[in-house]
Structure 1
Amino acid sequence: MSLSTAVPTVPALSVGTPVPLRLAVVDMSGTSVVEGGLQDRAFAKVVAARGLAEGTPEHERAARLFRERRGTSRTAVFQALFEDRTAALEATRAFEAAFDRLLAEHGVTAVPGAEGALVRLREAGLDLCLITGYARHTQNMILESLGWMGLADLSLSPDDAGRGVPYPDMVLTALLALDHDDVRSVLTVGDTAADILAGRRAGAGLVVGVRSGQDTGGVLAGAGADQVVDSLAQVPDLVATLRG
């Protein structure tokens, strides 16, 4: 007598099957927060102190690199500028100290309509995670200054997740930390091509670009955004429309 082993079958997931949105992962700088160029000022001070004087081609190349990679960890940015790891770590600490001083002096503001939009997303039943390329303590300073410490279910920086955008680490960390089981239930919102790439690479169900920050709508669409809107304030209505 021959015995056959029954192998349970698992229904295949349909790529086109809509999954209800359950988690919003929203970028801070440029998307929900306006920091008014304080990062650029802190960066200029740090690299000038290390021999890259403002107005020189070397300084401009460094500034361009910083603008392109500002969503990832600051350590990674300075490691790309300074081959010596010790010098990169020292520059990172100097940047964070300079930025914190500027932040304490000048503060930041919310993007118009951002706080209301975040509240509406939670009222619509979505968990909320705020993500940033800032260091953890800097992120906390900003949240405290805006009165946003209890606004989101979770906040993450590269310090918490390993890497910043364009890597998917923070999106996936939020998914796991808030106990969701399907990345297609995630909405991501950001103002840079790197934010869009992070959402795409994570497999988010809806990736939205906003024109309130660094990159143009064309750049955001070209990076793979499902939708591009003027600001975060429009995102709750977009979600409601897509839900039908």
Structure 2
Amino acid sequence: MSDVVVPIKLACLDLAGTTIGDIATVERAFAEAIATQGIVPGTGAYARAMVHVHRSRGCPKIEVFRGIFPGNEAQAQAANLTFERAYEGALERAGLVPVPGVVEVLDKLRGSGIKLSVITGFSRATLSRVLSVLGWDEKIDLALCPEDAAGRGRPWPDMVLHSVLRLQIEDVRQVAVIGDAESDMLTGRRAGASIVAGVLTGAHSRERLLKGGATHLINSITEFPDLIMGEELGTHQIPATAR
């Protein structure tokens, strides 16, 4: 990979598994949702559905359910509605736990003049609830879900490109993307971001992140500011032969 020749002006950050540590909560909500449609734990259908859920991490939740219930839009929509209720119910009961150090990361990036856009596969209603629980309205510049991009969530590049347009970034090379899933990596590469950082704290393995096109791998989001502000660029860079 060639050296980055433009400064990073925009960071697009994933939520679950990257900035908030709620992977188990998400998976429980998926399990509850598919159970209402007759797919229950202990069956082969349940095992196959949860494998699909894991492989599809980061994608729009409705698209995940369409993959589980192909050709049955009503069933997919019903499961998606149950997922949203189950997840938001979990927020009410237990709240959310940000990844250690993430608030300091957000403050450091914004203090350096870098715009911050949160992108997610949650619906607009769920995203709004998550941000309300976190209290991050003053810490980020933008929060986008698939509904903001005509339904084209990850792995499409649209949410990153919408962020570029809405925050008036001059060049897609001034963008850094961070996420914990293969779909995050695909989104960043397809959008033309200079840095597509895979964080090893979430859903997918190093191998899956590399398969998606990660330019860098980091152990935690706390390493992200130094990476995108140039202090450690090269330290985490992945040689082209490894991709």
TM-score, normalised by the number of residues in structure 2? 0.89
1:186 aligns with 2:175: yes
1:103 aligns with 2:91: yes
2:16–2:23: 8 Å Cα contact kept in structure 1? no
Cα separation, 2, equivalents of 1:214 and 1:243: 24
1:158 aligns with 2:139: no
1:197 counterpart letter in structure 2: L
Match of 2:108 among 115, 120, 123: 120
1:132 counterpart letter in structure 2: T
1:192–1:220: 8 Å Cα contact kept in structure 2? yes
1:46 aligns with 2:51: no
Cα-to-partner distance string for 1:74-98 (whole Å, 9 max, x where unaligned) = 1111112222112211221121112
Cα-to-partner distance string for 1:152-171 (whole Å, 9 max, x where unaligned) = 00001112122221111111
Query: Which residue of structure 2 lines up, in the alignment, with residue 6 of structure 1?
Result: none
TM-score, normalised by the number of residues in structure 1? 0.89
Match of 2:185 among 193, 196, 199: 196
Query: Which residue of structure 2 lines up, in the alignment, with residue 143 of structure 1?
Result: 131
Query: Which residue of structure 2 lines up, in the alignment, with residue 11 of structure 1?
Result: none
Query: Which residue of structure 2 lines up, in the alignment, with residue 133 of structure 1?
Result: 121
Task: Provide the aligned C-alpha RMSD in A.
Answer: 1.8
Query: Which residue of structure 1 lines up, in the alignment, with residue 63 of structure 2?
Result: 76
Cα separation, 2, equivalents of 1:186 and 1:54: 41
Report SS of the residue matched to 2:203: coil
Q: Percent identity?
A: 39
- Compute the displacement of 1:17 (Å): 6.9
Match of 2:74 among 53, 69, 86: 86
Cα separation, 2, equivalents of 1:207 and 1:190: 8
- Compute the displacement of 1:52 (Å): 1.0
* Bigger radius of gyration: 1
Query: Which residue of structure 2 lines up, in the alignment, with residue 67 of structure 1?
Result: 54
Query: Which residue of structure 1 lines up, in the alignment, with residue 241 of structure 2?
Result: none
- Compute the displacement of 1:222 (Å): 3.4
- Compute the displacement of 1:243 (Å): 7.5
Stretches of 4+ aligned residues off by more than 6 angstroms: none
Cα separation, 1, equivalents of 2:3 and 2:87: 44
Aligned residues: 230
2:36–2:79: 8 Å Cα contact kept in structure 1? no
Report SS of the residue matched to 1:110: coil
1:36–1:108: 8 Å Cα contact kept in structure 2? no
Query: Which residue of structure 2 lines up, in the alignment, with residue 236 of structure 1?
Result: 225
2:157–2:191: 8 Å Cα contact kept in structure 1? yes
2:64 counterpart letter in structure 1: V
2:56 counterpart letter in structure 1: R
Query: Which residue of structure 2 lines up, in the alignment, with residue 9 of structure 1?
Result: none
Report SS of the residue matched to 1:199: helix
Alignment of 1:17-32 (within 5 A): 18-32=5-19
Cα separation, 2, equivalents of 1:21 and 1:113: 21
Structure 2 unmatched runs, 5+: 235-243
1:35–1:107: 8 Å Cα contact kept in structure 2? no
**The 10-residue stretch of structure 1 (15-24 or 187-196) with the greater mean CA deviation from structure 2:** 15-24
**The 10-residue stretch of structure 1 (33-42 or 198-207) with the greater mean CA deviation from structure 2:** 33-42
2:200–2:219: 8 Å Cα contact kept in structure 1? yes
Structure 1 unmatched runs, 5+: 1-14
Cα separation, 1, equivalents of 2:63 and 2:162: 19
Structure-2 change in CA distance of 1:204 and 1:134 (3 Å): same
